Amino acid sequence: MNSLYHVRNYVKIKQSDIFVFEYQRKLNYTEKYIYKLDYTKIMSMYPVRRRTGAAISNYKSMIKNKINISDNETGAFSNGMYNTIKETAKQFAFEPKIENEENFHRTSKYILVGMGGSHLAADLLKMIKPEIDIIIHRDYGLPTISASDLKERLIILNSYSGNTEEVLDAYDEARRIGLQRAVISIGGKLLEMAKKDKIVYIKMPDFGIQPRSALPLNLKGLLKLIGEETTLKEVGELQNTFHPEDFEGEGKMLAEKLRGYIPIIYASAKNEPLAYNWKIKFNETGKIPAFYNVFSELNHNEMIGFSAGGKSASGGDVYSEVRNLSEKFYFLFLHDSEDHPQIQKRMAITAKLYEDRVLPTYKIELSGNAILHKIFNLLTLADFTAYFTAEGYGLESEQVPMVEEFKGLIQK
């Protein structure tokens, strides 16, 4: 029907209801994305100089020329994020292969360098296998540790695109010092350097998805590199036992509850990576502010900031204009039956104190018989909730145009 570049999915909408948004990334190719024609989206996603009716008409004309369909013909484009979530289980079929393995000297100590979605797998690894000695570095360069410790560790450079500035900087630093390196990526400069330097690398398949959505691919690549074959096999089995569609209904319901609010996600310290994942999914997919904290630390500070609006046994809580600052927040409690009993008690008491102050709360149970199911069940619920949050506000859920704008500015 059409030859419009990397359009992956289709849905029946009129030709007159779409326009193309194009920008040049630093990956030596141009990506073209399709959105429903909506002035709010145009205002938020397109440069000021192109926000004109003429520009919109030009894009509609360009689409017609590119795909050669009439205004009345159907069969255009669907939301990529929705399908990405529904098809998550397919990623578990990925069989990572270590390239240049003859140059690989195994160790039991690691540093994972990654930004954004590219360090999430390591966060989860620390939950799944807490005994593994891995430092997660989210910055330029390398962690400030002793030279002797640094030399004992495999430096794993993880960048989904292969062009993450901080990761490339860390690669250069590790090469300068002469440290053992390994790369996980779909391509870009990082993979080019790994091939040139003949170091170990794992190439992930490019499904055309965002880094935050490629968590199964990243996790399997990481497990393969560190030699965790048993866990790697268990993760692979999720392709048959994990059912993302089971969480769509609750995600839609929760998004409706959260409409007009800013989510704050609370979890145990053990489950901090899950709370962090919820936060970034709200930020990147839902396009809304979101924050998180962990027990029991928040009982020693943060909760006091929400005390206006009630009276405690010791007095001091009063109605005041400060309460207005709290009214936009909605508190999500990630409850895990395997958390320390006192943590579970703290969650219940904190939720009661907040509800007494007319602050909305919602309890989310970690479901599943094994830790891998618990993790991916909960994160899929987060995906659907964030997706329907964006839908509720009429926002595009997949792309991150502000990140791309930022990259363009910082590279000048």
**Tokens 């790994």 belong to which residue?**
194
The DSSP symbol for 364 reads E
* Predicted local distance difference test score (pLDDT) of residue 30: 31
Cβ–Cβ < 8 Å for 167, 194 = no
Strands 262-268 and 329-335: parallel
* Predicted local distance difference test score (pLDDT) of residue 321: 72
Same domain, 324 and 189: no
Helix (H, G, I), strand (E, B) or coil at 248: helix
* Predicted local distance difference test score (pLDDT) of residue 411: 82
| Cβ count near 79 (within 10 Å) | 19
Write out the residue range of the structural domain in which residue 305 sits: 244-392
Strands 262-268 and 291-295: parallel
Cβ–Cβ < 8 Å for 392, 256 = yes
Is 397 contained in some domain?
A: no
Q: Please say which residue of 214, 240, 266 terminates a domain.
A: 240
Same domain, 164 and 257: no
Strands 154-158 and 291-295: unpaired
| Cβ count near 133 (within 10 Å) | 13
Question: What CATH code is carried by the domain that includes residue 261?
Answer: 3.40.50.10490
Cβ–Cβ < 8 Å for 77, 20 = no
Same domain, 67 and 190: no
Same domain, 184 and 316: no
Of 399, 371, 381, whose CA–CA distance to 211 is shortest? 399
Q: How many Cα atoms sit within 13 Å of 215 on the Cβ side? A: 28
Is 341 contained in some domain?
A: yes
Q: What is the pLDDT along the chain (412 residues), one digit of tens a residue?
A: 333 333 333 333 333 333 333 333 332 323 333 333 343 444 344 443 333 344 444 444 433 343 332 333 222 223 589 999 999 999 999 999 999 999 999 999 999 999 988 899 999 999 999 999 999 999 999 999 999 999 999 999 999 999 999 999 999 999 999 999 999 999 999 999 999 999 999 999 998 899 899 999 999 999 999 999 999 999 999 999 999 999 999 999 999 999 999 999 999 999 999 999 999 999 999 999 999 999 999 999 999 999 876 655 555 555 667 788 899 999 999 999 999 999 999 999 999 999 999 999 999 999 988 999 999 999 999 999 999 999 999 999 988 889 888 888 988 7
Is 402 contained in some domain?
A: no
Domain count for the chain, please give it. Answer: 3
The DSSP symbol for 130 reads T
* Predicted local distance difference test score (pLDDT) of residue 323: 80
Same domain, 209 and 324: no
Beta bridge partners of 110: 134, 154
Same domain, 166 and 256: no
Q: Please say which residue of 240, 258, 279 terminates a domain.
A: 240
Same domain, 234 and 98: yes
User: Tokens for 11?
Assistant: 């849905």
Same domain, 298 and 234: no
Is 127 contained in some domain?
A: yes
* Predicted local distance difference test score (pLDDT) of residue 398: 87
Q: How far apart are CA 293 and CA 361, in angstroms?
A: 14
pTM attached to this predicted model: 0.79
CA distance from start to end of the chain = 39
Is 406 contained in some domain?
A: no
- What is the distance of C-alpha 110 from the center of its chain? 23
Phi, psi for 201 (deg, rounded to 5): -150, 155
Q: How far apart are CA 213 and CA 93, in angstroms?
A: 15
* Predicted local distance difference test score (pLDDT) of residue 51: 34
